[in-house]
Structure formats: structure tokens, C-alpha cells
Amino acid sequence: MSKYGRSNYSNPQAQHGAPRQYYIARYFSLNSRCKPIFSEMNHFMFLMRVSAQISTQSSSKICGLRPENLPLLKLAINQLGYKDSRPIEYSSNMITETDIHNAKILIVDDQESNVHLLESVLNTANYTSISSTMDPYKVYELHRQNHYDLILLDLKMPGMDGFQVLEALKEIEADGYLSVLVITANPDCKLRALQSGAKDFVSKPFDMAEVLARVHNLLEVRLLHQRSRSYAKTQEFMALHDPLTGLSNRRLLVERVSQAIIHAKRYDSIMAVIYLDLDGFRQINNTLGHDVGDLLLKLVAARLVAAVRQEDTVARLGGDEFVIAMPHVSNVNGVTLAAEKIIKVLSQPYNIQGNNVWVTASAGIGLYPFNGKDVNTLLKNADAALLDAKQANKNTYRISERAYM
């Protein structure tokens, strides 16, 4: 008999919207090999005993069931819906059941029996990456090293309680999603736990089906959060970088040059842009193919990045056109030396698909404030200087002679 009078499990329709555990319990109660009288408090312990993870002595005190009923437990878990490779189809960033079951879980409880119970039920439900600790002082370092997708945290522990652990974990997940499922036997602590950063809670004594449902839901949210953040970062990167080479694109270049101009104006100094392109690149594309041309552009990009200072910005504007923004320049001589170095580096042969490919580069230099006091004018005059270099003998540079108007 349940605490409500007649057992709820004898009629799963007795309660409107009854959770899945009522139906699973009814399955066990009707099975000829297993007819205990279920109650809300012993349902979890019964299923744990069936999984044969609790010692014989302990399990006999719980409900006296036999370990050979393990197949029944597995059937119950399947009926709860925890099946591998069942996709959640409402999101374009699809999270599968395999993703959820492979997520990293940490159990934190000072009672060894509780740790074993939770480990057993999660293992039975096909979760594959489960860790545990009985020392709350180790949680911070464990999470910092492993970044668990879910932490099952007991609130009442000696020395350092769950609330103190939550506060420490916030330092690690300051900009992330702290996925913590608190475990408590005190209903008065639930609200405080949620206010402290926990995402959900379960009450002691455990209800197995409730534990699994809450674990599953929190892991799903955590993985979706991670995927959405990763997608957002990817989109942000793509918006500011060239998809072929990974260099800054025009948008990011304009932003960096604008910042450099502001700094130079404030400190009455100069900054420079070097506008360059490859000599004869079109012929390489036409004779060796666009695949080779793309590989060449990637190699050129790598050499440019290696040849400039860390504070410089290397950008690809499209085709074989590149721009290097040089803030904090002390004198014009430093810019010309940089241009000479870049042209020399780019003229070295490139090994592409077992063949040596030669290409040279021409460059035009624009200086702030002499050749422009805004981004567009500075780039325009540097581009004009590039044309002057190409009209010379190529494989050289020219400094813009166009004064700011």
C-alpha cells in the first residue's frame, strides 16, 4: 500500500499525467517472477537490487529480490526511453542519445552507499563516463581539469557543504553553463540551492526514474548550450576572417586600422599599411589549376604571418591581394625594412604536391598621417603605390607619394 492508501501502481491512470515510473513499476508488479508491493520510497532501491549492484545482505533488507531479474531492469530502462542513437530532432544542431550517454558525469557524496547507488543506476542506463568523489574539497580541481557535463552534488557534507562547492565552481564556469543537480533530503534547501546556481534537484530517498529523467534533461541542455556557444564562436570567426586562409578579412582589417589611427593620432605618431599582391598569380591558376592556387595562397598567408610582428594584422582582401596593418611604427625606415623582408620571404620557392612553384610579390606602402587620415584614403593610396611598384619591375615596393588631401 502506498502512503496515499491504495497502491498507485495498481492503476497507472489513477493520477493524471502519471510519470513513466508508474508504468514501469506496474510492469514489475504484474510479472510473475517479481511481485513486491511497490511504494514511492522503495521503487528505486528495488531496481537497484535487480541490477545486482548492491550486496546481497543490503538488498535483502530492501526488498528481497534476486539478481537474475537484471533483464527486466534493462527492459524497464528501455521503456523509459533511454536508448542509444535516438536523435532529438527539434534542433538543427542535433544532439543524439549517444552524445548524452557519453557525456561526463561527476557524483559528489560523502556517503559511499549513495555513490554506489547512483553509479549503478547510471551504468545500467548506459551512461559511459561516470566519475565520483567523496571529498568535496576535490570537486573544484576535478571540474577544472575535466569540465564535467553534469555534477550530481550532495548538499550536506562535512567540512565543505554543497553550497560552498557551488560557489567555488562558479569561478570555473563564469561565462558558461554550470550544470549541477543537487541531492538533498531537506526540502527547505531546494530554493537556496537553485538560487546558488544549481540547475535542478532530486530528493532523498531517490526515485530512480526521476533521477534518470533529470540527469537526461540537464545533460541535453548542457550539450545544446555548448554546441550553441561553439556555433556562435564559429560564426563570429567567419564574419571576421577569410575562409580560405584564416587571415583577417576586410571588415576586421578596417577595424584594426581604425584603432591604429586613433592611437597614432593620440600620441602624435605614425602607422602604416602595406598593400601587396602576387606577381603572375593568374598564370599559376590557369596553368596549374585553382587547387594549386588555393594551396599557394595558404602558404603565402603562413609566410606573411611568420614575417611580421605579433601586433601587426595580416588580412586577405580577396584573390591574391593582402594587406598588412602596422601600428606603433617609430619611423619610415622600419616600414621599408619590413616590406623588403616580406618580398624576399615570399619570393622563395613553394613545394606544392611535390613540385616547386615560384612567385614574387609587389607592395605599396601608405603612411598615416602623410598619405591619409582615415582608413579608406590610406588603403586607396597604398593600393595606388602598389600599382606603381608593378609598373616598375615588380618584385619590389613603392611608398605612396600622394599627400593627404
Q: Using an 8 Å Cβ cutoff, are 350 and 359 in contact? A: yes
Residue-wise DSSP of 15-42? STT--HHHHHHHHHHHSTT------TTT
Same domain, 185 and 279: no
Same domain, 136 and 41: no
| Domain, as residue range, for 129 | 84-234
Cell of 170: 562558479
User: What's residue 369's pLDDT?
Assistant: 93
| 80, 115, 150 - which closes a domain | 80
Same domain, 206 and 282: no
Does residue 244 lie within any of the structural domains?
A: no
User: What's residue 186's pLDDT?
Assistant: 83
Summarised one tens digit per residue, pLDDT across range 366-390 is 999 999 999 999 999 999 999 999 9
Q: In what order do the strands lie in the sheet with 360-368?
A: 313-318, 321-329, 270-279, 360-368, 397-399
Q: Which of 317, 331, 241 lies closest to 276, judged by CA? A: 317
Which residues, other chains included, contact 285 with Cβ-Cβ below 8 Å and sequence gap of 6+?
Answer: 292, 293
Same domain, 158 and 275: no
- Percentages of the chain per state (helix, strand, coil), in multiples of 5: 50, 20, 35
Determine how many CB atoms are found less than 10 A away from the CB of residue 338: 22
Same domain, 36 and 89: no
Does residue 209 lie within any of the structural domains?
A: yes
DSSP annotation of 248 reads B
Determine how many CB atoms are found less than 10 A away from the CB of residue 172: 14
- Whole-model pTM: value is 0.59
Alpha-carbon gap, residue 196 to 107, rounded angstroms: 18
Does residue 241 lie within any of the structural domains?
A: no
Q: How many domains does the chain have?
A: 3
Does residue 239 lie within any of the structural domains?
A: no
Q: Using an 8 Å Cβ cutoff, are 278 and 327 in contact? A: no
Same domain, 224 and 88: yes
**Distance separating the N- and C-terminal Cα atoms of the chain:** 93
Q: Using an 8 Å Cβ cutoff, are 384 and 402 in contact? A: yes
User: What's residue 59's pLDDT?
Assistant: 35
Summarised one tens digit per residue, pLDDT across range 212-237 is 999 999 999 899 888 888 888 888 88
* Ranges of the chain with pLDDT below 50: 1-73, 76-77, 79-92
Alpha-carbon gap, residue 270 to 261, rounded angstroms: 8
Same domain, 284 and 377: yes
Residue-wise DSSP of 59-79? HHHHT---GGGHHHHHHHHHH
Same domain, 65 and 88: no
CA 217 to chain centre: 19
Q: Using an 8 Å Cβ cutoff, are 350 and 356 in contact? A: yes
Residue 248, beta-bridge partner list: 241, 315
Same domain, 218 and 290: no
